[in-house]
Amino acid sequence: MTGSLISASRPRSRRQTLLSAALCLAVSMGITAGTGAGEVSPSSPVPTTEQLDDAQIVAKVNELVARAWKDAGVRPSPQATDGEFLRRIFLDVVGRIPSIDEASSYLNERGKQRKAALVDRLLGDQYVIDYGNFWGTIWTNLLIGRTGGQNPRSLVNRDGMSQYLRRSFYRNKPYDRMVYELLTATGVNRPGEEGYNGAVNFLLAHLDDNAIQATARTSRLFLGMQVQCTQCHNHPFNDWKQSQFWQLNAFFRQARALRSFAGRNIAKVELVDEDFVSPSRDMKEAEIYYEARNGRMAVAYPVFVDGTAIDPSGYVREVNRRQELARLVVGSEAFARAAVNRMWAHFFGYGFTKPVDDMGPHNPPSHPELLDFLARQFSAHGYDLKRLIRWLVLSKPYALSSRQGHRNEIDDPSSGEPPLFSRFYLRQMSPEQLYDSLLVATAAEQAAQGNETRKEQMRRRWLAQFTIAFGTDENDEATVFNGSIPQVLMMMNGELTKTATRCEPGTFLHDVAMSDEKPSEKITRLYIAALTRRPSTQEVRAANQVWQAHQGDTIAALQDIWWALLNSNEFILIH
């Protein structure tokens, strides 16, 4: 590559100036910009905001949301019922509906602090496995997709990715530590292998084609910036330039995936950091090249999105580019804001921006003061995800009914309006939530035959029927789990529903059928198990008609009622 072909080359004096500025900034933040390949801890900025306690934070959240209601002239919906709140928080925190015993216990409790006590239990040791498995699954899908690691020739080991994430959530690993580990991980991708480190699977999923997808995913997931289109041209709606995409991409060029094969399939993959040899062979200033919009070749060096440059050396012993990137990511102002926005969207159905991972001046948040406040407190409290969850689920907007009131009709984000959170927005369970909720409601898992490996294989097969991988450059996926005909048919006639409505020993339905309870009591148990509430008078009347139609066949009557409840909108929706 000759200098005459480069349209955006950076002379040595300019590079030195940028490096000097970066080093000054690094020193001021307690970061050294030329570390070697040893173990390095994430270096988040020291919080400058006052660290408030949980009650103060929840009160501030309520105040800021209420201010938005007042400004918009809306009145919030009434409080959700106890059963609605219980079912909602179980689904959102541990990924399933409460069992009938858990529901009955909470509904019979009294006291003003029982919601807080419930949150303590869900975030404590009692539910640590459910919590870790649920959030591990969420982040596995975010990091490598629902189809990632399913192909035997894939670089990704799905079990390794899931195991790393589950264990991180079991221990409530700080969010900045987890992200730092994901971006800097080295080791083998497969559990049980020497040198195993499940965190490597994130980047292994996206390193092909000069790590273009690793660049886009890192920016989108951890900074809330969608930069994928800028690999070819400047962003049409914000200030992102094509050069910035490739400057960020340069941070990944030392990462290498070393494959080991078993026949034609990949047995394991090791992610390592190796010296990056640039096309010019200048190891001290190891550049990358890309094709600019005018067709000429341009050069890029590792520069973060905020303009912070690092030493461009390609030698790992002098500069570990991924470690430098990880420090800059977790130290960025965008880092906490992106995390808070994503978590808020999980619990409230909508984030402060839409899409949740496209933040910036071109897409201002609906509640900027609230977003900034929560981001500062999240950082000040050590990026504690469980603490962030506590603030959100104990807030007033989270506890509102999903029923629209007579003074908040305009609060309809589905129509394109910014959300006001004056009611709880209905949303459908994820496939994973539905699967696990069906198992809990029906005790089908207790009656299932086989070991844990077989059960997990059954679960993956059930989930796989709803996901389509397009094989595009951006590894796009789509789901038909959205009220489509395949989903309806699965719920009506699928194997899991058939298993759930069988009256076999060990199942919930069998226990209800064989009990000495009155028919009305049996019906009530079905409603509490499926919908976390007791049936209305009208519903009891309708169920009794079904019972009479079966002319004393208790099992057949219960199966029909149970099937109808499991196929109701109320069962499949989070409300």
Q: Quickly state the pLDDT bin for 8 (edges 50, 70, 90).
A: very low
pLDDT above 90 (res 312):
yes
pLDDT of amino acid 111? 82
Identify the pLDDT of residue 463: 72
Highest mean pLDDT among 218-222, 237-241, 434-438, 545-549: 218-222
The pLDDT tens digits for 98-115 are: 999 999 999 998 888 999
Mean pLDDT of 372-394: 98
Residue 50 has pLDDT above 90, yes or no: no
Q: Are 274 and 254 in contact (CB under 8 A)?
A: yes
Please, which pLDDT band fits residue 42 given cuts at 50, 70 and 90? low
- What average pLDDT score do residues 265-290 get? 94
48 pLDDT more than 70: no
Work out the percent of the chain whose per-residue pLDDT is above 90. 65
Q: What angle do CA 260, 264, 270 make, to 5 degrees?
A: 20
More confident residue, 31 or 115: 115
Give dist(CA 573, CA 575) in Å, integer: 6
Cα–Cα distance, 179 to 196 (Å, whole number): 18
pTM given for the model: 0.87
**Residue type at 93 in one-letter notation:** V
DSSP conformation class of 364: -
Residue 477, Cβ density class (10 Å: 0-12 exposed, 13-18 middle, ≥19 buried): middle
- Name which residue leads in pLDDT, 190 or 7: 190
Highest mean pLDDT out of 34-38, 346-350, 458-462 = 346-350
pLDDT of residue 423: 97
pLDDT for 155-203, tens place per residue? 999 999 999 999 999 999 999 999 999 999 999 999 999 999 999 999 9
Cβ neighbours of residue 53 under 8 Å, at least 6 residues apart?
Answer: none
Mean pLDDT of 352-373: 94
Residues 180/174, Cβ–Cβ less than 8 Å: no
What pLDDT was estimated at residue 323?
98
Chain centroid offset of residue 72 CA: 30
d(CA 261, CA 408): 60
Rounded Cα–Cα distance for residues 216 and 221 (Å): 8
Question: Could you tell me the pLDDT band of residue 479, with boundaries at 50, 70 and 90?
Answer: low
pLDDT for position 89: 98
Question: Which has more pLDDT, 442 or 231?
Answer: 442
Helices (H), 29-157: 54-72, 82-94, 100-107, 114-122, 128-144
In this prediction, residues 457-483 reach a mean pLDDT of: 56
> Are 77 and 84 within 8 A, CB to CB?
no
**Pairing between β-strand 187-188 and β-strand 265-273 as defined by DSSP bridges:** antiparallel
Which of residues 72 and 16 earns the better pLDDT score? 72
Give the separation between CA 557 and CA 523, rounded to whole angstroms.
10
If we measure between CA atoms, which residue out of 374, 346, 423, 424 comes closest to residue 93? 346
Residue the block writes with tokens 């971006």: 183
Give the three-state DSSP class for 409. coil
355 vs 40 pLDDT, higher one: 355
Residue 16 is predicted with a pLDDT of: 40
pLDDT band at residue 531 under the 50/70/90 scheme = very high
* Position 532 pLDDT exceeds 60: yes
DSSP annotation of 519: H
| 127 DSSP assignment | G
Q: Is the dihedral angle over the CA atoms 18, 22, 23, 25 positive or is it negative? A: positive
Residue 517 has pLDDT above 60, yes or no: yes
Residue 406 has pLDDT above 90, yes or no: no
What is the pLDDT, as a whole number, of residue 181?
98
Are the C-beta atoms of 341 and 351 separated by less than 8 Å?
A: yes
Count CA within 13 A, CB hemisphere, residue 544: 11
Q: Which has the minimum average pLDDT: 188-192, 427-431, 494-498, 519-523?
A: 494-498
Given CA atoms 25, 27, 30, 35 in this order, what sign does their dihedral have?
Answer: positive
CA–CA separation, 179 and 199 (whole Å): 9
Q: Categorize the per-residue pLDDT at 7 as very low, low, confident or very high, splitting at 50, 70 and 90.
A: very low
Kindly report, residue by residue over 281-296, the tens digit of the pLDDT.
Answer: 999 999 999 888 778 8
* Whether pLDDT at 327 is above 60: yes
User: What integer is the mean pLDDT of 516-520?
Assistant: 91
> Scanning the structure block, which residue is given the tokens 């570390």?
35
* 22-30 mean pLDDT: 32
The pLDDT value recorded for residue 482 is 54
Task: Report residue 454's pLDDT band, with 50, 70 and 90 as the boundaries.
Answer: low
User: Percent of the chain at pLDDT above 70?
Assistant: 81
Single-letter amino acid, residue 480: V
Helix, strand, coil content of the chain in percent (nearest 5): 50, 10, 40
Sign of CA dihedral 370, 373, 375, 381: negative
Dist. CA 145–CA 345, nearest whole Å: 18
DSSP type of residue 180: H
- Spatial separation of the C-alpha atoms in residues 556 and 575, rounded to whole Å: 30
Residue 189 CB neighbour total at 10 angstroms: 32
The pLDDT of residue 372 is above 90: yes
Of 328, 405, 254, whose CA–CA distance to 40 is shortest?
328
* pLDDT, the chain, mean: 85
Q: Which tokens in the block code for residue 386? A: 């469980």
